[in-house]
Amino acid sequence: MKPQPSRVPLANLLSTCVLALALVVTATAVTALVRSPRQVTAHTGRGSHWVNTWTGMPQLTEAGNLPPAPFTGERSVLADTTLRQSVRVTTGGHRLRLRFSNAYGDTPLPLTAVTVALPQDGRAGVSAIVPGSLHPVTFSGRAATVVPVGAQVVSDPVDFELTPGANVTVTAYTAQGQPDLKLTSHPGSRTTSYLLTGDHTEDSDLTGATRVDHWYLLSDVEVLAPAATRAVAVLGDSLTDGRGSTTNGNDRWPDQFFDRLRSRPAGSDLAVLNQAAGGNRVLDDGLGPNVLARLDRDVLSRSGVSWLIVFEGINDIGTAAATPEAQRAVADDLIAAYRQIVVRAHAQGIRVYGATLLPFGGNAYDDGAGVRETARRHVNAWIRGHGHFDAVIDFDRVVRDPADPSRLRADLQVGDWLHLNPTGYGVLAGAVPTELFRRG
């Protein structure tokens, strides 16, 4: 007899088919995981990605910078309060997202309602908005959200047309407010914000509101931009935060540098992120955490950053003892810290440019014997040295007094011989070579 062909039980055949199908599905899932986010996340659009277009370095609000009464109580801040503030974006887009920070809160921060709009006449620091421009902002599909202790929340995308250099108005209402006095803010806003009791997030103007020149809670604005759009972040202190600049004038040196970029071909595809705070230091905490502690939060985690300018260290020198030993130590420590910043940024594919430190002769940092000035010159000599940074921006050279290089030019400073006026900040902006931000 001929041997009979073996028969495969139906159950075994079905099991084989299911296994094959599972392998196909698994392979598809693995392929999706290794694709870029742009390939996987369809709602961002082909060839687009999220880029930070404005930032305000989060800080713990000092007592003198808390909202005035009745918006600050004995145990809470901003209870039953509408907060309207405006910020200037750099690169534009058709969709935006907002980030709110509770980095320094000891309690969760409830946000009851948030809206975004264009300010009246496109101006910074005004309380009125353009009629018909207001859009509600949601968080995971909900109007309200709670920002956990030490965390941030990102809004859902909002269809909103933003042009490069435009001002945008963000209005938030907190029914409960922050149930303690640990409020996250950026005090050095140089921009007027408005506070009013009750929910006025959809009002066209905040008549009778209290004016304050601080930003609270809002830390970032992002736009969905073409894939070629990138950002340059700036680490700095009050010289970058804009002390001495014009309130509501947006004439800090990063603002004026951005204005230069806009005038060049393809200049609108570069965002400028000002991550500075007055009194900040590289090595030690001051107003805000030290640079080495905040580098990941303020630069490496920001969307779309390809370049970093480091312009900070004068407060480290100025607050160290005016002895040769202390100044040699702080200068050496600054140089070591700069090396660390370069290594950590390079690991993320970010090019790092070092800016020389400005003179402070005639300021309180001037010790008379020139000990701190010697440290500043030593640090600047290292910054200018070959191979330390990817490029050098020589701010010291363009604003120092040619007759006395230990002092600023008198016509560029505000009177304290440390901070610049808008003209001086324009000189800094003009000293940044735009060719440093070419791709390739």
Q: What is d(CA 323, CA 295) in angstroms, rounded to the nearest whole number?
A: 29
Determine contact, residues 398/431, Cβ cutoff 8 Å. yes
Low pLDDT (below 50) residues in the chain? 1-43
Please tell me the predicted confidence (pLDDT) of residue 263: 83
Q: What is d(CA 432, CA 411) in angstroms, rounded to the nearest whole number?
A: 20
208-238, pLDDT tens digit by residue? 999 999 999 999 999 999 999 999 999 999 9
Instruction: Provide the whole-model pTM.
Output: 0.89
Please tell me the predicted confidence (pLDDT) of residue 2: 41
Best CA proximity match to 374, nearest among 336, 408, 331, 320: 331
Best CA proximity match to 171, nearest among 227, 209, 228: 209
Q: What is the DSSP letter of 297?
A: I
Hunting for tokens 């690169």 — which residue is that? 91
Please tell me the predicted confidence (pLDDT) of residue 46: 65
Best CA proximity match to 250, nearest among 218, 229, 274, 231: 274
Q: What is d(CA 141, CA 155) in angstroms, rounded to the nearest whole number?
A: 9
241-278, pLDDT tens digit by residue? 999 999 999 999 999 999 999 887 666 689 999 999 99
Please tell me the predicted confidence (pLDDT) of residue 270: 94
Please tell me the predicted confidence (pLDDT) of residue 386: 93
